[in-house]
Structure 1
Amino acid sequence: MSSQKLPILLTALLLRAASGAAQTHALPTPPPPGPDYQQVSVPVPRAVALVVDVTKVLFSRETAAEKLQALIDRRRTRSERRDQSLTIHVPRNKLTRTLGLVE
């Protein structure tokens, strides 16, 4: 690679990275499930519920102290309710109707 092409290539890469970073900061919140989705609650073992709670809290946009408190609150409410189930949004289509996942 010639030394003349290197600065041009580096500049182009920096511009592409900057435009990609600008797009990631403006991510919209996901829309609530529409009428073509059904909410299904699935009972799971306690360990799976713990892993789901931890991952939801870790990937949230809260500070570290708020994340710890959010995790404690989530686990406390699950323990009080003794509810170890996950809510999943399943699309209503021919396949999911055939499998009996949605009505």
Structure 2
Amino acid sequence: MLHKRFGLMMGLMLAFALVFTACAPAPTAPADTAAPADTAAPADTAAPADAEAAPTEEAAEGSRRSDEVIEIEYWQYFFEDRVTAMNALIEQFEAENPGIKVIH
């Protein structure tokens, strides 16, 4: 009985694998690419002196405005002990990271 069940399960898994493989889109052939024409080497240019300077704080933050509030939604199963512990951690995180609001 065990061998029959094992064989049946293996057969079903094989059938599903074949069906899912058949549903995959066919791979496309890569387009023929011609060899690039001879190009002239670019002239040596000196880098500006400020190019190696460290990025400013504004550049590191990207396009985020200082008055913009980012919201992060956090979800978990309801276990009273975990909820109270997580709320304490969220308060600590929000105090250390102004501008980020955690929705829990």
> TM (normalized to structure 1)?
0.29
More strand by share: 1
**Quick one: higher RCO (CA 8 Å, sep 6+), 1 or 2?**
1
More helix by share: 1
